[in-house]
Structures are given as structure tokens and as C-alpha cells.
Amino acid sequence: MNPASPKRSAIRVVVVDDSDICCEVLTEQLEADGDIQVVGTAHNGRTALARLAATKPDVVTVDLNMPGMNGLALIEAIMVDDPRPILVVTGLDAKDRDLAVAATARGALELVNKARAQDEQASAALRASVRRLATVAVNRVTPTASQPVMGSTWPTPHAADQPYTPIVGFGSSAGGPQALFEILTALPSDLPAAIAITHHLPADFGSAFARLLRSQVHFDVEVAHEPIVPSPGLLVLAPGGMDLVLEAGSLRAHRPATTALLCPSVDVLLTSLAAAPGAHVGVVLSGLGLDGSAGLAAMLAAGKLTIVQHRASAAVWGMPRAALPSALEVLDTAAIGDAIVRWVRERARLRGHR
């Protein structure tokens, strides 16, 4: 039952969807507990921009399939003109999920499935996402000069690492795909390293994320349904709802601990890279929370290269800020790629490969 009036401190939301019925359902679901107020609705991107300018909401929910300026174009415009947290509310078929994952590379911070009017569990998840995003400060992403924080004194190569293919482990969450795709598309196809990615996504969007990567990058993208031996030019993901670890020389999917809050866990991947032989690299990109800080600390202690995305190029500074004490390098996205190439090629020469 909706309260008669929202609280003064209610979270302010603009709902963007071309369907009147969807706008009504979303409004009812969002306002059910009284701490969220829908301050405007819009049926296309152009109208949405006017609503945002007039109401200055804390969070925007966006449907992607709209006439005129669609959801992807709207997200790009918001992130350029007036960045704020964007939650994509999407349909359930594969095409919708592909578009939703693409939206995270444009600036959307989280994804949820559209819930039926009487689906209380899904409605509660929608409100939880809005509450979480309302606390997030979204940065206008701007390029900046690279800024090493520890003098760029890289670890001395270990002889024991030489037979092993280096693995570059990326961890990201809200706002991370923008940086991730910029880095991956700039890396050379002959990079003498494997890549492992842990990006926070709902489990049912994992396949869509893999499809997007295959369409955008020049690496071979594999999902670790079975153990995969890392090799140069290979990019590995965990299946949806699973963690990714380096274990016994292979990248493998593991079921997360029952107490895990986030999956796939960045800490789990980076901690496994820290414990394994090889000149591995840990990179923490834009995201909410603390995930990745413990794993990057373990990699630093183990003599691996540790990199954190610079604040000026990170849409959300939470994860990079938490990992900052363990970063040998704090770099913008363009410079992250350069550092990775330099590190792995130097160690490839030590292994006698050219």
C-alpha cells in the first residue's frame, strides 16, 4: 500500500519508459515503501532530458527500446551533460539483455529485469538497487595525465615466474565497462598474456556480457565452463553466478561462498593470482564498494604489478579508492593499457619469447 505522501528525504527518481503501463507499474513498485518518490516520467530520451533538467533526480531508471532517442543514446547524453546514477530496467529475452549489457559500457551503473506488478521479490530488488545507487557520486569522466603513486618502482622479475603465461586480472563494477572496453580495444592482439575478467553482473546477464566482449575485442573470449589453461591472446570469464580463480595452472569457475555478497568476486580472482607463480597483473577499475582491495593487497605482497584506475577517469571511485593503498600505479585508462603492455613484454623477453 502506498503511503499518502513520501518522506521529505525520499530518494527522487525519474522513470523513463515508452509504455504508460510500465511507467505506472514502476512508479507503484518504487514508491511501495515510502522512501522513494517518482518525481517525473518520460516516454523517450528527449523528454527525459527535459525532466532531468527540471527535477534533478537522485537516480534515473531507463528502458532501452524507445522511439526517437533510445535508451543507449539517452544514457550517453546524461553521462556527458549531467552524470547521475542510471539503472537499466530491461526485458527478459536475449536481445534485451544484450542491449542492457551494452548500456553498462555507455554509463549505466546497474541492471535489473522488469518485474510483473505482483512480483514482490523482484520489486524489492528494484528498490534495493535504487537505494544503493542513490548513495553513489557519479563522476564526469575526463582524461588525465598518468600519476604513479609509488615512483613506478615495479617488482623485480622472479626466475620462477618465467615459464608461466602472465595473466592480467581485471576487476570492475558500476561504471567499469566503459574503462574496460577502452583498455581492451587498445591492447595489441599479440599481447603475450592472458586476460581474466571479474565484473559484477546479475548471473542471468553473464552470457550477454560474453557476447558483447566477443563483438568488441580482438581476443578469443572463453567462458570457463571447464578449466582453461591460460595462453596469450585468450580472455576468460566465469559463467554467470560463479567466481573465477587460477588454480593448478588453470582458470576455473568456483561456486561462491554462501556468505559472499558479490559475484564474481574480484578479491577471489586477484588473491588466486597472488598465490600462483607468474608475472601477473591486477587492475581495479570503477565500481561500488571494497571488492578488489584485499586481492590487490595480496598481489602487491606477492610481487605482482598492481594498478588502480585514476579518479578522474573512473565513473565511480569506490573500488579504486579502497584499493589505492596497494597500487603501484594509479593511471587513466589509456595509460593502464600502456603499462600492461610494457610489463608483459619485458617479462616475455626474459622468457626468451619475441
* DSSP-derived 3-state class of residue 59: strand
Q: How far apart are CA 26 and CA 40, in angstroms?
A: 12
**C-alpha triplet 56, 58, 62: angle, nearest 5°:** 90
For residue 11 the three cell numbers come to 530518494
Burial of 5 (0-12, 13-18, 19+ CB in 10 A): exposed
Quick one: cell of 50? 527535459
E strand or H helix that includes residue 330: strand 329-331
Residues 6+ apart with CB under 8 A from 330: 147, 148, 149, 307, 308, 309, 310, 320, 324
Cell numbers of 108, please?
Answer: 549505466
Residues with catalytic function: 173, 200, 291
Provide DSSP, 288-325: SSSTTHHHHHHHHHTT-EEEEE-GGG-S--HHHHHHGG
Amino acid letter, 347: R
Nearest 5°: the CA angle 350, 351, 354 is 85
